[in-house]
């Protein structure tokens, strides 16, 4: 894929003190275009080769707005947005890196390289937390409904096929497998009727999350096909429509100067006027993403529709593993009318060894950041692990009956009865994920473990 440029509509005025947003062309670069990114010329040949090796395995995509407006090239390679978007050698284990690098140095043919890359990818846990096996529902005949995930009772996720890419890719992304061209690893559907039929028969569902990729890469006309039917009376049980997106960070022009930006805003207004809540689940990783004029203009325009913007993102090494970064980001979000929602733990997939932060340290960063902000910014929950049993929050480190422990609780669970029930793990400074922890007080199992095993066995049996 070559770098591409798409023309956008004439400039659009925000009016008042919001300023004007000039038209811009969306220019994107992928792995094949690394040598065409002028800013990389300041890096050494060895660094550029390392990027080619890593991007042969993990997806790479960046656009000119990110390059020009968000990265401080004087700080590269330490700049957080550079780390967020450009491949780094440490993202691959040494053995994986050398296998791919050797082939590139030797000029191996395309098929040989593809075989090795495919093998490496499958060793990186491409679909963590049993996404493919346990979260995808089936119809009455037992056929898997591609493009739908239904893990928690009230919430359904839908992956529209037109939205399974992003304006830029995050290097840590837990959904990296969506973007590598392997259909066996991809979750997507272009059948709006599949979603709507499923929701008709599942009245327990109150929230639908459109996710990806990024649904905001879609034309508004495609998004309408999915959203507008949900406004009909037969879907009164659907109270909230969520859209997961990084566009407010990586291409805010989508909301203010794209050729169908006005149409998108009108669609948002219709959803809100229907009586449903529209929540844009914005992915932010650093306060720098909130600082540009066009980003703030996009936020104001989305909020002007009546939609709520909720901010979430993982705590990740090399990018935001600093309480001062989170405190500044949360406070800025509140100033802009965004609701801080989640601090996640980096998932156990892809380049996790490069980005993960021990759970105890994650909690310390969360706690120190919370101490620096006002109550309005303390709505962010976390640090939270989106593990297979559910969303598990690290609540802190304490001592109970003479034993130092990590306090945990479910924010969400495969069984709703688990939610808000505290449980305790042995203190472990090295653990980075739920499966690294052991029950405290000499217990052999977690309180939920047997029930979860039964749920998992039943789901896997149905998948056979």
Instruction: For residue 258, report the phi and psi dihedrals to the nearest 5 degrees.
Output: -65, 160
d(CA 174, CA 303): 28
Q: What are phi and psi of 33, to 5 degrees?
A: -105, 10
**Residue 313: is its pLDDT beyond 60?**
yes
pLDDT for 25 equals 86
Please tell me the predicted confidence (pLDDT) of residue 145: 87
Q: Say what the pLDDT of residue 13 is.
A: 41
| Mean pLDDT, range 227-252, rounded to an integer | 98
What is the Cα Rg of the chain in Å?
22
The pLDDT of residue 464 is 65
For residues 28-46, average pLDDT: 95
Average pLDDT over residues 54-61: 96
Contact present, 424 and 407 (Cβ < 8 Å): yes
So what's the pLDDT on residue 21?
59
Lowest mean pLDDT among 128-132, 238-242, 275-279, 391-395: 128-132
User: What is the mean predicted confidence (pLDDT) over 321-328?
Assistant: 98
Contact between residue 217 and residue 166 where contact means Cβ atoms under 8 Å apart: yes
Asked if the structure places residue 66 within a domain, the reply is: yes
Instruction: Print the domain residue range for 25.
Output: 4-122
Asked whether residue 241 carries a pLDDT value surpassing 90, the answer given is: yes
DSSP string, 234-301: GGTT--EEEEEE-HHHH-THHHHTSTTHHHHHHHHHHHHHTT-EEEEEEE--SGGGG-SHHHHHHHHH
Q: In whole angstroms, what is the distance from residue 160 CA to residue 219 CA?
A: 12
Q: Please tell me the number of Cα atoms within 13 Å of 205 on its side-chain side.
A: 26
Which pLDDT belongs to residue 143?
79
User: Mean of the pLDDT values across residues 439-450?
Assistant: 97
d(C-alpha 208, C-alpha 193), whole Å: 14
113-130 pLDDT tens trace: 999 999 999 999 887 757
Q: How far apart are CA 284 and CA 282, in angstroms?
A: 6
- Both structure tokens of 226: 């999915």
Paired tokens of 354: 């490069």
pLDDT one-digit tens code per residue, 175-219: 888 887 777 667 767 788 999 999 999 999 999 999 989 999 999
Say if residue 139's pLDDT is above 90: no
- Structural domains in the chain (count): 1
Q: How many CB atoms lie within 10 A of CB 88?
A: 18
Residue 446 lies in a domain: no
Q: Give 403's pLDDT tier (boundaries 50, 70, 90).
A: very high
pLDDT bin (cut points 50, 70, 90) of residue 146 is confident
The pLDDT tens digits for 266-286 are: 999 999 999 999 999 999 999
Once rounded to an integer, what is the mean pLDDT over residues 367-385?
97
Q: Does residue 18 register a pLDDT over 50?
A: no
Q: What is the DSSP string of 402-420?
A: TEEEEEEEEEEESSGGGBT
> Which pLDDT band, with edges at 50, 70 and 90, does 449 fall under?
very high
229 pLDDT tier (thresholds 50, 70, 90): very high
Per-residue pLDDT averaged across 158-179, rounded? 91
Q: Which residue has the higher pLDDT, 285 or 20?
A: 285
Classify residue 22: in a domain, yes or no.
Answer: yes
State the chain's mean pLDDT as an integer. 92
**Nearest CA among 103, 242, 92, 99 for reference residue 176:** 92
What's phi and psi for 32, nearest 5 deg? -70, -15
On the question of pLDDT at 292 being above 70, the answer is: yes
Is residue 437 a part of any domain in this protein?
no
In whole angstroms, give the CA distance from residue 441 to residue 426.
8
Asked if residue 380 is part of any domain, the answer here is no
Question: Is the entire prediction scored with pTM above 0.85?
Answer: yes
59 falls within a domain: yes
| Residue 452: inside a domain | no
Among the residue ranges 11-25, 278-292, 419-433, the one predicted with the least confidence is 11-25
Q: What is the DSSP string of 282-347?
A: EE--SGGGG-SHHHHHHHHHHHTTT-EEEEEEEE-TTTT-SHHHHHHHHHHHHHTT-EEEEEEEPP
């Amino acid at each position: 894929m070559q770098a591409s440029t798409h023309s956008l509509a004439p400039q659009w005025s925000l009016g008042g003190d919001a300023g004007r947003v000039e038209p811009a062309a969306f220019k994107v670069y992928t792995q094949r275009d690394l040598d065409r990114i002028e800013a990389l010329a300041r890096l050494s040949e060895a660094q550029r080769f390392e990027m080619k090796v890593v991007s042969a395995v993990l997806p790479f995509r960046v656009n000119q707005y990110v390059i020009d407006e968000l990265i401080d090239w004087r700080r590269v390679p330490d700049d957080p947005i550079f780390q967020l978007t450009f491949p780094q050698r440490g993202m691959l284990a040494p053995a994986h890196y050398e296998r791919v690098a050797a082939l590139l140095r030797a000029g191996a043919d395309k098929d040989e390289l593809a075989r090795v890359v495919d093998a490496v990818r499958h060793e990186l846990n491409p679909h963590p937390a049993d996404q493919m096996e346990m979260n995808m529902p089936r119809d009455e005949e037992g056929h898997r409904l591609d493009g739908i995930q239904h893990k928690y009772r009230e919430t359904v996720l839908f992956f529209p096929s037109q939205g399974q890419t992003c304006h830029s890719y995050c290097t840590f992304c837990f959904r990296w497998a969506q973007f590598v061209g392997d259909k066996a690893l991809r979750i997507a559907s272009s059948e709006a009727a599949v979603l709507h039929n499923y929701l008709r028969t599942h009245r327990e569902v109150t929230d639908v999350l459109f996710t990806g990729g990024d649904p905001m890469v879609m034309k508004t006309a495609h998004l309408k096909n999915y959203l507008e039917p949900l406004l009909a009376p037969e879907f009164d049980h659907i109270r909230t429509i969520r859209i997961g997106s990084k566009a407010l960070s990586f291409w805010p022009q989508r909301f203010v100067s794209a050729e169908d930006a006005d149409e998108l805003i009108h669609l948002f207004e219709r959803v809100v006027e229907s009586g449903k809540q529209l929540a844009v689940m914005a992915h932010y990783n650093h306060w720098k993403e909130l600082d540009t004029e066009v980003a703030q203009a996009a936020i104001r325009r989305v909020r002007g529709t009546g939609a709520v913007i909720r901010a979430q993102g993982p705590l990740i090494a090399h990018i935001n593993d600093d309480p001062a970064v989170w405190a500044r980001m949360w406070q800025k979000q509140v100033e802009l009318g965004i609701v801080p929602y989640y601090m996640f733990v980096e998932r156990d997939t892809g380049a996790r060894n490069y980005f993960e932060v021990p759970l105890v340290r994650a909690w310390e960063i969360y706690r120190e950041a919370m101490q620096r902000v006002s109550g309005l910014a303390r709505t962010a929950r976390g640090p939270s692990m989106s593990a297979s049993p559910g969303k598990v929050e690290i609540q802190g480190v304490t001592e109970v009956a003479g034993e130092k422990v990590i306090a945990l609780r479910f924010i969400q669970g495969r069984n709703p009865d688990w939610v808000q029930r505290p449980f305790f793990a042995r203190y472990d400074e090295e653990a980075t994920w739920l499966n690294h922890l052991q029950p405290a007080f000499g217990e052999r199992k977690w309180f939920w473990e047997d029930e979860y095993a039964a749920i998992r066995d039943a789901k896997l049996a149905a998948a056979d």
